[in-house]
């Protein structure tokens, strides 16, 4: 299969293209205003050291915290592999990390830093000695297994949509509502938002704090990796088929995705919106503010990794483009790349393999009172899924919301 090797190649290539020095030089070159650039450079340095939030700097880990035992469910998938990479990059204080997937993958090898882990089957695994389970195996698996795992005293951080709308399950983006994590104890489950919601709320939160958002209109440009490894295979094989004049087959997507865009993601709802669009609306309300009105058009584009969003925002109070730019430059998780000349905006290709939510094209919308438009891009497998889940685990550990069940030998 292409995905298992080539999706890693896509990621590895983007990472090696952006060595730490190059990233810093890039930020220095692209930040229009040198003083405000400082926060971006500091952010980049902390990110390159492995942390996103100041509170989760790896240097702060203590020996005692090395006792945590983690399981990654869906370890052979796009998100699961990324979770293992990020746990290793962040030097997460785990005594042991176990890779789990379906019975099909028993013995499959996955990388974890310098180590190779052999996958075990979820259905045979005893979670009674495990502290945290990072889960990314789809909604059906999560619906069945998350309560069983949580019932064994293991905190589940779930990436599917199975638990996001349960009022007893916190839905968390650490830069936005980390304090809500404390509510996890009701079910022992914490939900991650949809990939397109995660990057959006990181960008909206600091602007909402300043000028109170009333309404958001967003159009997404979502990469195929958001639909799993088979979807990446489909873009690759369709593209190849077109180049060699073979017939094109569609399986994962409703229409050809190669050299095309598809204005529907997930199933249709009764009102004509798709479930993906509904998720963005419902999740933004739950994470940020139930009073925010949001309408979305979600579009799949032939990009392997990285979601982009064109966002129009109406505020209750005045806010200029310059003010918004300054606020976003200081905001946790955000990097502003906004030079008003050709090539002065971020694209998914550049965001792939990176941790930040990038913001470009910040401008005033004169057609409404207190309106702004902007362009927002992030790696959907990282901030949209795996990175956000690891950040949640880091908050659990760092705020001492959980203690390891067993001391390491
Ligand atoms: N991709 C994104 O941008 C993104 C963002 C946010 C949330 N999510 C969510 O994260 C989840 C995974 O997405 P993905 O993109 O990583 O999908 P994926 O690449 O298709 O991987 C699916 C993973 O689930 C495992 N799995 C399937 N059935 C299983 C079972 N019965 N028991 C145990 N493991 C099983 C697979 O194992 P095998 O290899 O053994 O089949 C594989 O490791 C989905 O719920 C998705 O909605 C994804």
Name the residue of 11, 72, 98, 102 whose CB sits within 8 Å of the most ligand 1 atoms, as the mutation to test its pocket.
102
Instruction: Give the pLDDT confidence score for residue 65 in this predicted structure.
Output: 57
Whether residue 114 is predicted with pLDDT greater than 50 in this model: the reply is yes
More confident residue, 18 or 383: 383
65, 185: one domain: yes
138 Cβ closer than 6 Å to some ligand 1 atom: yes
Whether residue 312 is predicted with pLDDT greater than 60 in this model: the reply is yes
201, 161: one domain: no
Q: Is residue 73 part of a domain?
A: yes
Q: What is the pLDDT of residues 193-242, one digit of tens each?
A: 999 999 999 999 999 999 999 999 999 999 999 999 999 999 999 999 99
Q: What is the pLDDT of residues 327-341, one digit of tens each?
A: 999 999 999 999 999
Tell the residue nearest (CA) to atom 40 of ligand 1: 102
Q: What is the pLDDT of residues 28-45, one digit of tens each?
A: 333 333 323 333 443 444
186, 240: one domain: no
Give the 3-state secondary structure of residue 192.
coil
Question: Once rounded to an integer, what is the mean pLDDT over residues 356-366?
Answer: 98
Tell the residue nearest (CA) to atom 30 of ligand 1: 102
Name the residue of 86, 98, 136 whose CB sits within 8 Å of the most ligand 1 atoms, as the mutation to test its pocket.
136
226 Cβ closer than 6 Å to some ligand 1 atom: yes
pLDDT band at residue 304, thresholds of 50, 70 and 90?
A: very high
CA distance 279 to 130: 31
Catalytic residues: 195, 307
Instruction: Give the pLDDT confidence score for residue 66 in this predicted structure.
Output: 73
Closest ligand 1 atom, residue 3 Cα: 19
Instruction: Give the pLDDT confidence score for residue 406 in this predicted structure.
Output: 75
Q: What is the pLDDT of residues 115-147, one digit of tens each?
A: 999 999 999 999 999 999 999 999 999 999 999
187, 127: one domain: yes
Whether residue 190 is predicted with pLDDT greater than 70 in this model: the reply is yes
Closest ligand 1 atom, residue 119 Cα: 40
203, 74: one domain: no
153, 258: one domain: no
Whether residue 64 is predicted with pLDDT greater than 60 in this model: the reply is no
Q: Which range of residues forms the domain containing residue 296?
A: 197-381
Q: Is residue 135 part of a domain?
A: yes
The secondary structure of residue 25, as a DSSP letter, is H
Whether residue 83 is predicted with pLDDT greater than 50 in this model: the reply is yes
CA distance 237 to 171: 36
Helix axes 34-48, 20-30, angle to 10 degrees: 160
Return the half-sphere exposure (C-beta side, CA atoms, 13 A cut-off) of residue 7.
30
Instruction: Give percent of the chain with pLDDT exceeding 70.
Output: 83
Instruction: Give the pLDDT confidence score for residue 67 in this predicted structure.
Output: 87
pLDDT band at residue 11, thresholds of 50, 70 and 90?
A: very low
Instruction: Give the pLDDT confidence score for residue 13 in this predicted structure.
Output: 31
Q: Is residue 92 part of a domain?
A: yes
pTM of the model: 0.87
Cα Rg of the chain, angstroms: 21
222 Cβ closer than 6 Å to some ligand 1 atom: no
Whether residue 398 is predicted with pLDDT greater than 50 in this model: the reply is yes
Per the structure, how many domains does the chain have? 2
Instruction: Give the pLDDT confidence score for residue 255 in this predicted structure.
Output: 98
381 Cβ closer than 6 Å to some ligand 1 atom: yes
207, 345: one domain: yes
**CATH number of the domain enclosing 288:** 3.30.360.10
The β-bridge partners of 132 are: 70, 155
pLDDT band at residue 6, thresholds of 50, 70 and 90?
A: very low
Closest ligand 1 atom, residue 105 Cα: 40
Q: Is residue 263 part of a domain?
A: yes
What's the chain's average pLDDT? 87
Q: Is residue 25 part of a domain?
A: no
Closest ligand 1 atom, residue 123 Cα: 32
181, 286: one domain: no
Q: Is residue 283 part of a domain?
A: yes
Instruction: Give percent of the chain with pLDDT exceeding 90.
Output: 82
**Taking the alpha carbons of 314, 320, 322, 326 in that order, is the dihedral positive or negative?**
negative
C-alpha distance from residue 171 to each of 97, 162, 175, 331 (Å):
24, 11, 12, 20
Ligand 1 centre to CA of 194 (Å) is 13
182, 326: one domain: no
CA distance 405 to 164: 26
135 Cβ closer than 6 Å to some ligand 1 atom: no
241, 368: one domain: yes
Whether residue 52 is predicted with pLDDT greater than 90 in this model: the reply is no
Q: Is residue 59 part of a domain?
A: yes
183 Cβ closer than 6 Å to some ligand 1 atom: no
């Amino acid at each position: 299969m292409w995905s298992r090797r080539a999706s890693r190649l896509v990621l590895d290539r983007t990472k090696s293209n952006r060595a730490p020095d190059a990233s810093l030089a890039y930020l220095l070159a692209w930040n229009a205003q040198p003083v405000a650039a400082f926060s971006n450079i500091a952010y980049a340095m902390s990110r390159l050291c492995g942390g996103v939030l100041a509170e989760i700097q790896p240097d702060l880990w203590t020996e005692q915290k090395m006792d945590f035992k983690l399981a990654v469910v869906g370890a052979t998938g796009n998100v699961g592999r990324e979770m293992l990479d990020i746990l290793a990059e962040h030097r997460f204080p785990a005594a042991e990390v176990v890779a789990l997937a379906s019975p099909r993958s028993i013995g499959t090898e996955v990388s974890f830093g310098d180590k190779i882990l052999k996958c075990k089957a979820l259905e045979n695994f005893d979670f009674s000695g495990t502290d945290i389970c990072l889960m990314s195996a789809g909604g059906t698996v999560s619906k069945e297994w998350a309560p069983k795992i949580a019932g064994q005293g293991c905190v589940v951080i779930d990436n599917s949509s199975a638990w996001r709308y349960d009022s007893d399950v916190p839905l968390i983006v650490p830069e936005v509502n980390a304090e809500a994590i404390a509510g996890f104890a009701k079910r022992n489950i914490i939900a991650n938002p949809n990939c397109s919601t995660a990057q959006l709320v990181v960008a909206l939160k600091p602007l909402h704090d300043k000028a109170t958002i009333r309404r958001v209109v967003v159009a997404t440009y979502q990469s195929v990796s958001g639909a799993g490894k088979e979807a990446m295979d489909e873009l690759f094989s369709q593209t190849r088929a077109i180049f060699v004049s073979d017939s094109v087959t569609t399986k994962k997507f409703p229409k050809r995705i190669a050299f095309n865009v598809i204005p529907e993601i997930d199933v249709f709802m009764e009102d004509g919106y798709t479930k993906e669009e509904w998720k963005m609306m419902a999740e933004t309300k739950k994470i940020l503010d139930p009073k925010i009105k949001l309408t979305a058009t979600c579009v799949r584009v032939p990009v392997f990794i990285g979601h982009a969003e064109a966002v129009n925002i109406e505020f209750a109070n005045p806010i200029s483009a310059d003010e918004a730019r300054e606020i976003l430059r200081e905001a946790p998780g955000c990097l502003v790349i906004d030079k008003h000349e050709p090539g002065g905006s971020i694209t998914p290709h550049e965001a792939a393999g990176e941790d930040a939510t990038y913001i470009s094209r910040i401008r005033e919308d004169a057609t409404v009172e207190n309106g702004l438009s902007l362009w927002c891009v992030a790696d959907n497998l990282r901030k949209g899924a795996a990175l956000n889940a690891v950040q949640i685990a880091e908050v659990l550990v760092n705020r001492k919301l959980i203690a390891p069940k067993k001391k390491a030998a």
